[in-house]
Amino acid sequence: MVEYGMTIPETGPNAPTTADSVSGAPDATLTIRRPDVSDGAAMWRVARDSGSLDLNSSYAYLLLADHFADTCRIALMGDDVVGFVTGYRLPADPTRYFLWQVAVDERARGHRLAGRLIDAVIDDQPEVSSLVTTVTEDNTSSRRVFQRWAEQRGATLDEVTGFEAHHFPDGHEAEPLLVIDGIR
């Protein structure tokens, strides 16, 4: 478990440039750890309230928290889940980590917590050498998270065709694929 005390520390690859405590909860300890099945409901709630994520079924978050715990992480402020990253290693190429969703609650945003979650899950998978994810054209904050994360890891970021609009049955917009290579 990674524990951050009262303020977000200034060391490490995702360090903020100024020391800033998490607003609204100055006494809360921020921690990042593997989820377990009892965290699935809170992950679903964070996804539901995120404003822009596709909300999967509650069952899917239980599966992720239970069966895919090694490749998912949650962030807690005190006892509250305020963020998560979900993903898995591609079955056909386990050196590639597919990041499915990353989300941070409104009250914990602005501290680059998403980058810390990604560091935490990647650093525990030494066999992984690249991260792939899909992001819609208009998701500026998410794109910024991946750009910055790639820069800080000294990695390259390329954008290629991912899931195209015609693949979806429900009018979903295209999801270009971001490929971040050389992350070690």
Site residues (CB under 6 A) for ligand COA? 50-53, 101-104, 109-114, 135, 139-142, 144-145, 148
CB 95 within 8 A of CB 147: no
What is the closest distance, in whole angstroms, from the C-beta atom of residue 100 to ligand COA in the complex?
Answer: 7
Q: How far is the CB of 25 from ligand COA (least distance, A)?
A: 14
- Considering the complex, state which of residue 95 and residue 141 has its C-beta at the smaller distance from ligand COA: 141
Residue 18 or 126: which CB sits closer to ligand COA?
18
CB of 135 to ligand COA, least distance (A): 6
DSSP assignment, residue 108? G
Pick the closer one to ligand COA by CB: 38 or 141: 141
Structure tokens at 69: 């715990």
Asked if 97 and 122 count as a contact pair (C-beta separation under 8 A), the reply is yes
Q: Which is nearer to ligand COA, 62 or 105 (CB)?
A: 105
Distance between CA atoms of residues 35 and 146, nearest Å:
22
Closest distance to ligand COA from the beta carbon of 115 (Å): 6
The sign of the torsion formed by the CA atoms of 178, 69, 44, 145 equals negative
Distance CA 45, CA 37 (A): 14
